[in-house]
Amino acid sequence: MATMVGRAAVDALAMETKVSLNATPSALASDPRSNSQATPRDWDEAADVVIIGSGFAGLAAAIEARNAGATVTLLEKMKSCGGNSMISDGLIAAAGTPMQEKAGIVDSPESMYKDMLQAGLGLNHPDLAQKVATGSAGVLQWTIDYLGVKYLDGIDQLGGHSVPRTLTPCRRSGSVIVKQQLARVKELGVKVKTRTYLQRILRNSAGRVQGVLVRDGYTFPHASGGMPRHIQAGKAVILASGGFANDLSFRAAQDPRLTQEVDSTNKACTTAETLREALRIGAMPVQLASIQLAPWTSPDEKGNGVGPDFAYIALPYGIVIDPTTGQRFMNELADRKIRADAILKAGQPCIGLTDAKGIERSSYRIDHCLRKGVVKQFDELRDLAAAYGIPFEALKETIKRYNRYVGKKLDQEFAKPILPGAEPLTHPPYYAMRLWPKVHHTMGGVQINARAQVLDLAQQPIQGLYAAGEVTGGIHGACRLGSCAITDCLVFGRIAGKNAAAEKTQK
């Protein structure tokens, strides 16, 4: 079904449209029926490798391409670099690391690969998922040794992972990684152009990508402005433009449930213009309808907010309750799709709760969430029940039953893994937050091979075109495991950069 939707998207791009994406830059695109292979007689500027997007994937690609000896121009449509990567939590999954060995955690790339396939419902493209899993430990070490990223002590187990394998950078922010990447990019002499919007991917008569047409000086989100400039890519173009969580018309075309009424955790700039352009020139769409909803977000704040930190750091030591019944209804450490679907099925925001011991065990600093009012503190369980309209006796019985599971280290209802150090929920004060899913990640995108080359509808590489990160599809299947996105971006960003730089220079 996802492939059919993807083909429909390609067909739709063959027709002229006047749809406005909330005043996003789609209006800048010229007639889709124009000759996509036209190249100018004279280029305004040139580089060996031209990269679209300056998040984790684009910056990793820029670093590797430059280190391989290529000249690199990095294009970013916003006025500053980093994109959605800057507001991510920075969590990175890696299997078989020295940190795990030191902590006595037995793990392997094969185990991580199996976890990815299970969460992805077997829809993952095996060669791509395997590449992420096998490259995970190496790319984590690269961030430490080459970029100088520092991580917090402790290894977390996120939902859907069979063992703890997730590390968190200091300050719990992806900006820590991005800033280190940007420092390297500057040191290497990569040319960075902000406020530069991709309008066309340009190919020669043989179909080989030779460069791009951009709008230089563009201001998001206004659908006008900027001077047209042709930038030649002597070796290759790399697409690293991210996902389309805030492209309302495009995402709703893939999943009609995702109307403007559904919020997103992403920056407003996560739109689909680069993906649309890749599809227009014949890139194979993969699983565009696979759009992930975050099960840890709160309806009591806009966007991602501060609540998710509490939800995925502290709540694993607690439970989630349906407020109408006072009962649990899911494995709170299942993968994201299972949890989001379960909350949606409940039909209203649900309540995640833990106690003081859960906060202590998770080492989570809760003051910020309390000040914002997203998480609330209760000295008595009865007060918590009253605040959210939960039947108190039912809630009390649910917690009593769950506490028995904690004591036995076995959840007999939902098979939730009982984390090491977890204790019964008997230590007030109690902390609670309302949960309701928001659009978080788009698993679908263009198809690539293990070399990060973009494939066409005949499954052949589009010469001179690479892609990495959320603009690609197939790696995560139906559901991306938490903390695997940054791993994916860095692994394939580096692959794309190295291989693009190795391309033969075109005259």
φ and ψ at residue 469, rounded to 5 degrees: 90, -155
Helix axes 2-12, 273-280, angle to 10 degrees: 80
Give the separation between CA 255 and CA 190, rounded to whole angstroms. Answer: 38
Q: What is the DSSP letter of 490?
A: H
φ and ψ at residue 399, rounded to 5 degrees: -70, -40
Of residues 336, 361, 434, 494, which has the active-site annotation? 336
Q: Containing H/E element for 352?
A: strand 350-355
Structure tokens belonging to residue 364: 């989570």
Cα of 334 vs its chain's centroid, Å: 18
Given the structure tokens 């989100």, which residue do they identify? Answer: 221
H-only helix segments in 156-315: 175-188, 248-254, 273-280, 307-309
Is 240 within 8 Å of 498 (Cβ atoms)?
no
Please say if 434 is a catalytic residue: no
Give the separation between CA 384 and CA 396, rounded to whole angstroms. Answer: 11
H-only helix segments in 303-351: 307-309, 336-346
Give the separation between CA 313 and CA 193, rounded to whole angstroms. Answer: 37
Structure tokens belonging to residue 130: 């395997």
The CA-based angle 153-154-155, given to 5 degrees, is 135
Give the separation between CA 500 and CA 493, rounded to whole angstroms. Answer: 10
φ and ψ at residue 63, rounded to 5 degrees: -60, -45
φ and ψ at residue 242, rounded to 5 degrees: 85, -165
Which residues are catalytic, by number? Answer: 336
